[in-house]
Structure 1
């Protein structure tokens, strides 16, 4: 019997060395337990949890695979799961499911692989060269204190803390709602049932998140693919096995593909390292969006009233079928617009500076740029799963508009003037500005020139700054 919290052969509390842990996963098929301890199959939001023997009753599927002598251990495992008293998401289970998903490989048959010394050296050299190229096109200094090559399993381990920060606010609202749907006088009597449902909710969320993160690990090429800093600060990371899959049919040398992706990773690292408010701004926008989510209490009351401990998948179905939806309020719309605009500005800036660095040096720069733009615009199945889970798609809808705006700013104000806008969130373009980038660039030119005049006159001893706009100043500070 395993000494893990649920007895399903979870990884040890102290993470194994990434390569060693992943190698063991591959050799054992993803751990000591079954490939999916609850019998869930497929992705929510992409066909649901089903599609296999016993899908109608995942616990029956699990127990049916055991010998009669193992039933006692199985029920003990179930009891441990139901006794979970942690946060709104069972993150131990999420990590286990993610690692097992990784060990099974991607749909095209690509398996995770240990990262060898040659690949690690190649990634370090690519990031080092990328940083040299970026020095010519941005005033922000390098933000990568180190460069690492990750396997998929290592990506899972490194990014789970960020996923926890993103998902917990939404899951918490659902967990709280479970205790609020019953009349107050009935809540004391129904305490054990509500506690069981919360434990089941934590397990279901953990399973869904684990599967989503596991599938996403088979798609990402670095630590910043979705526009958010998912990995440790100051650590530029690339996944050689996924880079190989990404570039397989592009007709571009692998070294060029890896270098272009290293440019993107290094550019993200510069932005998040030297714009200190940016990470909290993005994660705060996600949290603000989560606070506006409204739980469908009528549906939840129906689930509570009919909850059958012998049929726990009905709670999972409720979670999957839209039990919570964003409220159609001005505050919720503003939170969503703020997040989408911020993501577009981040991705647009990275797109613009990477293109400026790569275009003169890589013959494949245009083709790689367009491929990545389309990839980010369409999203993958795991991103769609995350959208189903919290009602939010983490991809920039207006990437091209933002990239054009940053390019125009570069032409008008130069690299330093463009990057100076990251000094404060109030200086950044808004969603309206993305509709009229030329108007924003023109307005910023006037504002900056007036500020320069005021500062100059004050330094020269002028009694009163001349605030009258002078048409002759238009374009004085363009390059």
Structure 2
């Protein structure tokens, strides 16, 4: 699409945009989509055009930067944690290459599209609007603004892996590696940073909004669209570009509403990743068997032994525990519920206004099915594959709940995490809908009122028990009186005067 509305500029507009490129290179090689993929993280041209001395110089320069970053990490710099984020950020920027700076008209276009979509969303959800500011980001801005959230996500996983490695290293290997443990830790941080940088560099060029991966990566209340990625996305579709932009703006505004007004949601997603990380363990049996017959001195004199020891990659593979599988299932379910809810409210808000809403919704589903940014990110960093089937079924659950109740009933489920459906509910929504419709969702709306109701019920039960106990005691007393004989009655009052009117039984009175 060459004529994008709202001031969005297509990435294929020609030489007129070349003077707006940043310092990634005048020849435009850095903007080649194939130059910075995961298999070629340094962004070198690998086509069949012959040897390029400039590319070789660039390679050595970038390698030097990587080793320089490793050195600063070893000296206690910014790379001292479980992940060297300085290496990650530098590598991601190199992979992004050249990009188009955001123009003022594009920022205005984003603001207008989000404002329009937010008005339409008011009719289909009880959650109030949460957008306080709308902005347009370049890929580098997305990288810089989202990096704090990536640190929260990645640190638990990388940190647990590092601790597990250090705590379970066989004695023979630990004796050899002891003096080098600090260096190995920093090299591990650099390895994680390299992997993260490759993923984020590719992701930065593909994401369309700040919530495209299912997590809120922008500050609270900020809606973000990435014009350059949207222009590329629109080029491959036959739908009107104006409808595409408003559709994506509606998805972003719906995500912002949800994460702004469902206070527990953001933390629940992040804490589930931490739960997964706490269960990480590594099977060291293979390396223990190898190291058992190796003399540490031999490792120093024969490098091949060390290479053999370290090349046992199967021995270092993290083992998935049942607890981890459960945490991943919860994360998958929650992400599917978020995406399903957004899909539902956006469809209902736009269907009567934008003819291409159904086609664009299916396009987003196919994007997930083919391995979009969210799926690639979680598969790489967390080991989670977000199945498209779960999203489709989560969307169906929200739709059925709305049909069985109303908008208040559907959105009221977000009031508390205990009210949310689980994986089994997504697979079989009928039981969940019956519980919500039958039991209501008001229990957590006013926790004080609920507590008072519970205490009143307990007091009432205690009063009933006391009444029942008193009745039981009285009945026992009455029963005892009935069972007493004449002798017992006489013995109850030994001082009673029986001499008056004595009768011997024959009708005469004794004197």
Bigger Cα displacement from structure 2, 123-132 vs 317-326: 317-326
2:178 — aligned with what? 191
Q: Which residue of 1 aligns with 2:38?
A: 43
Structure 2 counterpart of 1:92: 86
Relative to 1, partners in 2 of residues 1:77 and 1:140: Cα closer, same or farther, differing over 3 Å? closer
Determine if contact 2:287/2:315 at 8 Å carries over to the other structure: no
Q: Cα distance 1:94–1:166, how it changes in 2: closer, same or farther (>3 A)?
A: same
Name the counterpart of 1:333: 325
Q: Deviations over 1:96-148 (max 9, x none)?
A: 11111111xxxxxxx52111111111100000001000000000011111000
Distance verdict in 2 for CA 1:395–1:401, change over 3 Å: closer
The aligned counterpart of 2:22 is 23
| SS of structure 1 residue aligned to 2:215 | coil
Matching residue within 408, 426, 429 for 1:437: 429
CA distance in 1, matches of 2:106, 2:442: 52
Normalised by the size of structure 2, how large is the TM-score?
A: 0.70
Distance 2:26 2:366 in 1: 36
TM-score of the superposition, structure 1-length normalised?
0.74
Mark the structure with the bigger radius of gyration.
Answer: 2
Instruction: Name the residue aligned to 1:252.
Output: 239
Partner-residue secondary structure (3-state), 1:232:
coil
Residue deviations 1:435-456, cap 9 Å, x none?
A: 222332233211129989x99x
How far did residue 379 of structure 1 move? 1.9
Matching residue of 2:128: 141
1:175 matched to 2:162? The reply is yes
TM superposition shift of 1:174: 2.1
Looking at structure 2, the residues matched to 450 and 214 of structure 1 have their Cα atoms a distance apart, in angstroms, of 45
Q: How does 1:10-89 map to 2 (within 5 A)?
A: 23-25=22-24, 43=38, 79-80=71-72, 82-83=74-75, 86-89=80-83
Distance 1:144 1:221 in 2: 17
Shift of 1:168: 1.1
Q: Distance in 1 between matches of 2:227 and 2:300?
A: 46
Q: Distance in 2 between matches of 1:383 and 1:319?
A: 29
Q: Does 1:425 align with 2:417?
A: yes
Matches of 2:27 and 2:74, distance apart in 1? 27
| Deviation at residue 182 of structure 1 after TM alignment | 3.5
Structure 1 unmatched runs, 5+: 1-20, 32-39, 54-60, 104-110, 466-479
CA offset digits 1:340-368 (Å, max 9, x no partner) = 11011100000000000010100101100
SS of equivalent residue, structure 2 residue 134: strand
Q: 1:238 matched to which residue of 2?
A: 225
Q: Residue by residue, what CA displacement relative to the aligned partner does 1:38-79 show, whole Å, maximum 9, x if unpaired? A: xx98527x99999979xxxxxxx9899659xx9999987764
Q: C-alpha displacement at 1:191, in angstroms?
A: 2.9
Residue in structure 1 matching 2:96, options 97, 102, 110: 102
- 2-structure distance, mates of 1:49, 1:464: 74
Is residue 126 of structure 1 aligned with residue 113 of structure 2?
Answer: yes
Flag the 1:231–1:247 CA change in 2: closer, same or farther, 3 A: same
Bigger shift: residues 292-301 or 437-446: 292-301
SS of residue paired to 2:130: coil
Partner of 2:143: 156
Q: Distance in 2 between matches of 1:319 and 1:165?
A: 30
Structure 1 residues 134, 71: CA separation in 2 closer, same or farther (over 3 Å shift)? closer
State the superposition RMSD in angstroms. Answer: 4.4
Matched, 1:227 2:214: yes
Alignment counterpart, residue 336 of structure 2, candidates 328, 337, 344:
344
Whether the 8 Å contact between 2:44 and 2:59 is mirrored in structure 1 is no
Please list the CA deviations of residues 245-293 of structure 1 after superposition, one character each: whole Å capped at 9, or x if unmatched.
Answer: 1121221121110100000000000000000000011111111112222
